């Protein structure tokens, strides 16, 4: 079988070596061979590193699975593979304002990472939680046109009231939840970006009691009613008593 010639870039020091592999070589063995033959790749724990096939679009780059063989990815002679650390820091914000920086595996999906994130924070029922990106408001189409000027004033006023209510009302379906089947990188989440952790599914609250202060506090912050708007006029003390 003809050997496969690949350019291996050790990302942490930008050293590029041309190496030959059998196409049937498992990715795990390829990483081991790289560590044995390239001195610059012998730092840190071997389990923290992997091979990454980059793309012009960062979202389309892929981590090679350790159990797959090189020929599975249809690599060609001269292709560049990055040997780099899979761990990356990610800032996680909770509804009570607390922020934690957690090291996550960039090759794992969001669903897999939630197990790690929740366990680090002290949440046991990770399957009920999810992550969302803040500040990504979807642009809604403007439904106004010249035809609305011809509508009855009462109907037009009611429609405007409904639009204002819709703008103020936010449900969980309107939030920018991350897809559990995809990685942070595939969804364009940068290392410097802040992600919000909150409860998405409410299966059972039997395990949320005084013995679980972390979840009890997060649940309270999430479900408590918002404060009254300052724009609301308050009745005077005397009419209120009457």
- The pLDDT, as a whole number, for residue 233 is 44
Backbone angles phi, psi at 147, to 5 degrees: -70, -25
Q: Which residues of 182-192 are buried (b: 16+ CB within 10 A; e: fewer)?
A: ebbbbeebeee
pLDDT digits (tens, 9 = 90+) for 183-230: 999 999 998 899 999 988 765 555 555 555 665 555 556 555 555 444
Distance of CA 50 to the CA centre of its chain: 20
- Say if residue 124 is in the same domain as residue 59: no
DSSP conformation class of 43? S
Are 11 and 109 in a shared domain? no
For residue 139, name the pLDDT band (cuts at 50, 70, 90): very low
What tens digit of pLDDT does each residue of 77-110 get?
Answer: 999 999 999 999 999 998 888 999 999 999 999 9
71 and 20 in a single domain? The answer is yes
**Mean pLDDT, the chain, whole residue set:** 80
Residues 16 and 96 in one domain: no
Question: Does the residue 193 lie in any domain?
Answer: yes
Same-domain check for residues 97 and 211: yes
CATH number, domain at 131?
Answer: 3.10.20.90
Decide if 143 is inside a domain. no
Regarding whether 108 and 9 lie in a shared domain, the answer is no
Give the whole-number percent of the chain exceeding pLDDT 90.
53
Looking at 31-45, 93-107, 154-168, 200-214, which range is the least confident one?
200-214
Task: Supply the pTM of this predicted model.
Answer: 0.66
What is the distance between the alpha carbons of residues 61 and 84, in angstroms, rounded to a whole number? 13
Q: Would residue 8 count as lying in a domain?
A: yes
For residues 172 and 108, give the distance between their C-alpha atoms in angstroms, rounded to a whole number: 25
Is residue 128 situated within a structural domain? yes
- Taking a C-beta distance cutoff of 8 angstroms, is the pair 45, 57 a contact? no
Cβ neighbours, 10 Å, residue 211: 8
Instruction: Phi first, then psi: give them for residue 8, nearest 5 degrees.
Output: -100, 120
Of 56-60, 152-156, 234-238, which range is least confident? 234-238
pLDDT of residue 232: 43
How sure is the predictor about 111, in pLDDT bands with cuts at 50, 70 and 90? very high
Phi, psi for 56 (deg, rounded to 5):
-60, -35
Q: Does an H or E element contain 168, and which?
A: helix 153-168
Q: Same domain for 203 and 112?
A: yes
The count of structural domains within the chain is: 2
42 and 129 assigned to the same domain? no
Same domain, 121 and 179: yes
Tell whether 153 is covered by a domain: no
Domain limits for position 209: 88-135+174-223
* 64/167 Cα distance (integer angstroms): 44
155 by Cβ neighbours in 10 Å (0-12 / 13-18 / 19+) ranks as exposed
Indicate if the pLDDT at residue 169 is higher than 80.
Answer: no
pLDDT score at 133: 87
Question: Average pLDDT of 46-54?
Answer: 95
Check whether residue 95 and residue 213 sit in a common domain.
Answer: yes
pLDDT confidence band for 173 (50 / 70 / 90) = low
Same domain membership, residue 80 and residue 94: no
Is there a single domain that holds both residue 99 and residue 81?
no
Residue 152 lies in a domain: no
């Amino acid at each position: 079988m003809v050997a496969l010639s690949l350019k291996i870039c050790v990302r942490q020091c930008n050293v590029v070596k041309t190496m030959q592999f059998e196409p049937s070589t498992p990715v795990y063995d390829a990483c081991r061979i790289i560590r044995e033959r390239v001195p610059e790749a012998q730092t840190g724990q071997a389990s923290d590193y992997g091979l990454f096939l980059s793309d012009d679009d960062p979202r389309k780059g892929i981590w090679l699975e350790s159990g797959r063989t090189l020929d599975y990815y249809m690599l060609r002679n001269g292709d560049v593979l990055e040997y780099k650390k899979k761990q990356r820091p990610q800032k996680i914000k909770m509804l009570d304002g607390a922020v934690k920086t957690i090291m996550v595996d960039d090759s794992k999906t969001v669903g897999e990472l939630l197990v790690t994130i929740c366990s680090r924070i002290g949440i046991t029922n990770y399957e009920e939680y999810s992550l969302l990106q803040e500040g990504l408001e979807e642009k809604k189409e403007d439904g106004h046109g010249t035809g609305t000027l011809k509508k009855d004033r009462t109907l037009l006023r009611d429609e405007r009231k409904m639009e204002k209510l819709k703008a103020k009302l936010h449900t969980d379906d309107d939030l920018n939840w991350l897809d559990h089947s995809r990685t942070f990188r595939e969804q364009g989440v940068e290392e410097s970006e802040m992600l919000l952790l909150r409860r998405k599914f409410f299966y059972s609250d039997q395990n949320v009691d005084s013995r679980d202060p972390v979840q009890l506090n997060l649940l309270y912050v999430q479900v408590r009613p918002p404060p009254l708007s300052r724009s609301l006029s308050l009745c005077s003390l005397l009419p209120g008593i009457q």
